[in-house]
C-alpha cells in the first residue's frame, strides 16, 4: 500500500507551496564549518533503534538528532542536519531498507536541523514544517545574543508544505502525528508521535542531559519549553521511547527529570529578577549548583544558560 498523508483541517490553517527546483551555536557552528570544509568523511552516522520492529530509528551525526521511519511505503524523516552529511545520512538510511525518502519534517528552523533541506528538496523529497519555519527560513535571521546571522535559505530548502497546528501522516502501518507546540525552543517547534510504535521525537524542546538553548529571539519561551515538555509527558507512558533534539535516546522518567529542572530554573530566575538581583549577582550566586554536575557539561555552560534565561525573562 502506498502511504497516505492527511493534514488536520477545520480551524487549522494549511499552506501548500509548489516545490521548487544559539543551542550552543558556537559548537554547532564549528560542526557546520567542519562539515563544510570537507571533513564530512570523518563523521560517522550512528543508527540507534528506537523501535526496530516498527522501523523507527534515531540517527546521530552532527547537529540535531534525526528520526526515521522506514518501511514499504518509503521513508519518513525528521530533520536532516548539515548539507555535506546528506550522502552519508542517505547511505545509513538505505542500509535500513533501501527505500525512497518521501518526507522530511523539520522540527524547527535552526540550521543544524535543516541544513540538508536543499539537497533533499532538489531530489524531490517533500519538506514539511510549521508555518513559522518557512517564514523564518525565507528571510535573514539575526541572533544577536550569540553573534550569528543566517541568510535566507534557497527556495529548494524551504518547506513546500506547511501547517499551523498539526499534520497527520499515514504510512508503514504508523499514524504519525506532527503537533505544533506553543513557542518553546522557537516559535515554530513541532513534536512528533509515532502512535502505534509508542515513540516520540520532541525536537529541541528536549535536550537530554544538558542545559537547553532557548532561542528567545526566534520567539522561544521558557514557559513554552515547560508546556511542551508537559505535552510530551502527556503523550508518554513508562514504555515510550523518546528521541530528544540533542542527547541520547530517552524515556519518560528522564523527561520528567528535565521537566523538574525547567520548573526549578523558572522559579529561581524569576525570584532573582523580582528581588532586583543583577545578572552578575545572580550568576555569582550559582543558583543551579545542585544541577550543574549532571546538566552543565553540554552545549551551554551554567553561566551561559542562566544568562540566556535571565535575559529572556527580563528583557
pTM: 0.89
Average pLDDT over residues 74-102: 96
Give 173-185 pLDDT, tens digit per residue.
999 999 999 999 9
**pLDDT over threshold 70, residue 35:** no
Residue 189 has what pLDDT? 99
Distance between CA atoms of 135 and 124, rounded to whole angstroms? 21
Residue 135 has what pLDDT? 98
Q: Is the dihedral of CA 38, 120, 192, 197 positive or negative?
A: negative
Residue 30 has what pLDDT? 42
Give 190-225 pLDDT, tens digit per residue.
999 999 999 999 999 999 999 999 999 999 999 999
Fold of 4-259: Metallo-beta-lactamase; Chain A (3.60.15)
Q: What percent of the chain has pLDDT over 90?
A: 82
Give 222-263 pLDDT, tens digit per residue.
999 999 999 999 999 999 999 999 999 999 999 999 999 999
Residue 191 has what pLDDT? 99
Give 106-145 pLDDT, tens digit per residue.
999 999 999 999 999 999 999 999 999 999 999 999 988 7
Residue 41 has what pLDDT? 54
Mean pLDDT of the chain: 89
Residue ranges of alpha helices (H) inside the chain are 25-34, 86-97, 111-114, 117-122, 131-137, 222-235, 252-274, 279-284, 289-295, 302-313
Q: Which three cell numbers stand for residue 195?
A: 502512535
Residue 237 has what pLDDT? 99
Residue 4 has what pLDDT? 41
Distances (CA, A) of 19 to 162, 169, 212, 253: 12, 19, 33, 41
Average pLDDT over residues 268-274: 98
Residue 82 has what pLDDT? 95
Which residue has better confidence, 308 or 26?
A: 308
Burial class (CB in 10 A: 0-12, 13-18, 19+), 122: middle
Q: Give residue for cell 543551579.
A: 288
Instruction: Break the chain into its structural domains and give their ranges.
Output: 4-259
Q: What percent of the chain has pLDDT over 70?
A: 87
Residue 274 has what pLDDT? 98
**pLDDT over threshold 90, residue 12:** no
Residue 6 has what pLDDT? 42
Amino acid at each position: 500500500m502506498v502511504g497516505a498523508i492527511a493534514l488536520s483541517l477545520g480551524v487549522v490553517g494549511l499552506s501548500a507551496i509548489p516545490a521548487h527546483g544559539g543551542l550552543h551555536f558556537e559548537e554547532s557552528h564549528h560542526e557546520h564549518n567542519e562539515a563544510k570544509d570537507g571533513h564530512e568523511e570523518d563523521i560517522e552516522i550512528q543508527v540507534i533503534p528506537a523501535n526496530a520492529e516498527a522501523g523507527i530509528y534515531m540517527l546521530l551525526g552532527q547537529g540535531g538528532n534525526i528520526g526515521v521511519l522506514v518501511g514499504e511505503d518509503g521513508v519518513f524523516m525528521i530533520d536532516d542536519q548539515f548539507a555535506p552529511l546528506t550522502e552519508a545520512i542517505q547511505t545509513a538510511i538505505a542500509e535500513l531498507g533501501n527505500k525512497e525518502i518521501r518526507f522530511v519534517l523539520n522540527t524547527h528552523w535552526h540550521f543544524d536541523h535543516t541544513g540538508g533541506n536543499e539537497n533533499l528538496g532538489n531530489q524531490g523529497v517533500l519538506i514539511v514544517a510549521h508555518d513559522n519555519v518557512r517564514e523564518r527560513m525565507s528571510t535573514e535571521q539575526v541572533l544577536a545574543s550569540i553573534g550569528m546571522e543566517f541568510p535566507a535559505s534557497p527556495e529548494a530548502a524551504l518547506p513546500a508544505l506547511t501547517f499551523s497546528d498539526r499534520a497527520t501522516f499515514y504510512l508503514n502501518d504508523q499514524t504519525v502525528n506532527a503537533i505544533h507546540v506553543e513557542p518553546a525552543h522557537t516559535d515554530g517547534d513541532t513534536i512528533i508521535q509515532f502512535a502505534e510504535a509508542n515513540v516520540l521525537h520532541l525536537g529541541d524542546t528536549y535536550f537530554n542531559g544538558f542545559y537547553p538553548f532557548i532561542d528567545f529571539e526566534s520567539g522561544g519561551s521558557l514557559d513554552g519549553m515547560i508546556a511542551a515538555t508537559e505535552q510530551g509527558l502527556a503523550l508518554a507512558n513508562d514504555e515510550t521511547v523518546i528521541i530528544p533534539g540533542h542527547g541520547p535516546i530517552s524515556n519518560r522518567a528522564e523527561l520528567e527529570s528535565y521537566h523538574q529542572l525547567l520548573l526549578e530554573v523558572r522559579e529561581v530566575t524569576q525570584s532573582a529578577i523580582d528581588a532586583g538581583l543583577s545578572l552578575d549577582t545572580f550568576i555569582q550566586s550559582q543558583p543551579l549548583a545542585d544541577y550543574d554536575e549532571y546538566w552543565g557539561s553540554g552545549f551551554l555552560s551554567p553561566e551561559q544558560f542562566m544568562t540566556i534565561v535571565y535575559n529572556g525573562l527580563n528583557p
